[in-house]
Amino acid sequence: KNEVEQSPQNLTAQEGEFITINCSYSVGISALHWLQQHPGGGIVSLFMLSSGKKKHGRLIATINIQEKHSSLHITASHPRDSAVYICAVERNTDKLIFGTGTRLQVFP
Amino acid sequence: EPEVTQTPSHQVTQMGQEVILRCVPISNHLYFYWYRQILGQKVEFLVSFYNNEISEKSEIFDDQFSVERPDGSNFTLKIRSTKLEDSAMYFCASKKGQGVETQYFGPGTRLLVL
């Protein structure tokens, strides 16, 4: 069983829609990371969370430590948001354990 | 803004050949990592490195793999005798300090073993 599960695996949306991507994990963690992988393969860190909620522009990330669950929200989605969004957790050591990613396509 | 760089961006090699993938972490970072992503699969941890020593390595990181920080800037991953299954995208990452911090990823090296 994967330690980090994401849903959905694929997501399509119309421009302007509100998007939610979910991440559940089964292990104790010190932090959870949301990353974005562009079509060319590069990985960019979006958020690092230990508790609560963080916001950056149109992106919002929340985490519920008790429920071992995190969500990434995109408000007013845009075609340039099309990418793979990856949830990764950090345990006692600082290696990252990755989910399989959610492929998002936003159409104009 | 400082960034992690990797060279080459693409490498094609024959099975059994040695390859060296190079990374230049962000200059004041102290913790370094290699990850890999086989096509269509999730990213996997290979190794972490701090203070000129391996901190942790995964089961994937067997005797065919080695890492080195030969000077103050470069961080290399060597695969001694490549196998077909080593074909993947290899990402280097670095972070500044101990504890929970953002890891900054390089653009990756796409390795194809024929």
How far is B65 from A54, CA to CA, in rounded Å? 38
Whether the CB-CB separation of A70 and A34 falls below 8 Å is answered with yes
pLDDT score recorded for residue B10: 96
Which residues have CB under 8 Å from B72's CB, separation 6+? none
Could B42 and A96 be called an inter-chain contact, meaning their C-beta atoms sit closer than 8 Å?
no
Which has more confidence, A94 or A1? A94
Provide, as residue numbers in chain A, all residues whose Cβ is less than 8 Å from the Cβ of B31: 94
Listed residue (A25, A19, A24, A21) closest to A35, CA to CA: A21
pLDDT digits (tens, 9 = 90+) for A4-60: 999 999 999 999 999 999 999 998 899 999 999 988 888 999 999 999 999 999 999
The count of residues in chain A is 108
Q: CB contact, 8 Å: B105 with chain A?
A: yes
Q: Can you list the residues of chain B whose pLDDT is less than 50?
A: none
Q: Which of B36, B41, B94, B102 to mutate to test the interface with A (most CBs of A within 10 A)?
A: B102
Whether the CB-CB separation of A74 and A10 falls below 8 Å is answered with no
pLDDT score recorded for residue A1: 67
Could B95 and A42 be called an inter-chain contact, meaning their C-beta atoms sit closer than 8 Å?
no
Q: CB contact, 8 Å: B67 with chain A?
A: no
Burial of A18 (0-12, 13-18, 19+ CB in 10 A): exposed
Could A48 and B102 be called an inter-chain contact, meaning their C-beta atoms sit closer than 8 Å?
yes
pLDDT score recorded for residue B97: 86
pLDDT score recorded for residue A79: 96
pLDDT score recorded for residue A39: 84
